[in-house]
Amino acid sequence: MSDDDMSFMREVFMPDTQGNEKPKLPFAQYIVEWGLHPLSERTGEATGERWKRLYGDSFQAVYKLPRPNGTQTKVSVISGGLFYSRIGEPYEVMVCHETDMDSTDNLHPYQTDEDLMLLLAKLLGEDNGLSK
C-alpha cells in the first residue's frame, strides 16, 4: 500500500453503525450521492483491482447546491490516492455550475476540512449576479 492510501476516509464518506446514512461532511443535507468512488467499485478488472491494491479505497460525495436563479451547482468531493488529496489535505473538489459544466477552472486540489467548509458556504451564499 502506498503512502497515498486514503482508506481512513471511509469513516467520513460511508454510513456508520450509529445510524448516520450520509457522509460526515459539511452541509450534508445537500449531498445526493455518496460512497466508494467508481474506481474503487470495479471488481474483476485488472486495472481496478490494481489501483485498489496500490492506492486503497477512494470515496466520493456529490452535492447539488440550490442557486437563487433556480439552477443547481454540482460539487463533487473525492478522496483517494489517485486524486489530488493527501492525508493533511484529504479532498479534491470539482465545482460544476450548470452554465460551465466543462470548465476545469473549478478544480480545487488538496483541500482541508476548513477549505471544503468555506468553499461550500461561499457557494451557498453567492448569487453569481444572476438574480436581481
**pTM (2 decimals)?**
0.82
How much is the average pLDDT of 91-112? 81
pLDDT for residue 102: 54
How much is the average pLDDT of 121-127? 85
Mean residue pLDDT across the chain: 83
How much is the average pLDDT of 101-108? 70
From 19-23, 72-76, 125-129, the region with the lowest mean pLDDT = 125-129
Contacts of residue 18, Cβ cutoff 8 Å, sequence gap at least 6: none
From 46-50, 108-112, 122-126, the region with the lowest mean pLDDT = 46-50
Distance CA 73, CA 128 (A): 11
pLDDT above 70 covers what percent of the chain?
79
Give strand pairing partners of 101: none
How much is the average pLDDT of 10-19? 87
pLDDT for residue 68: 79
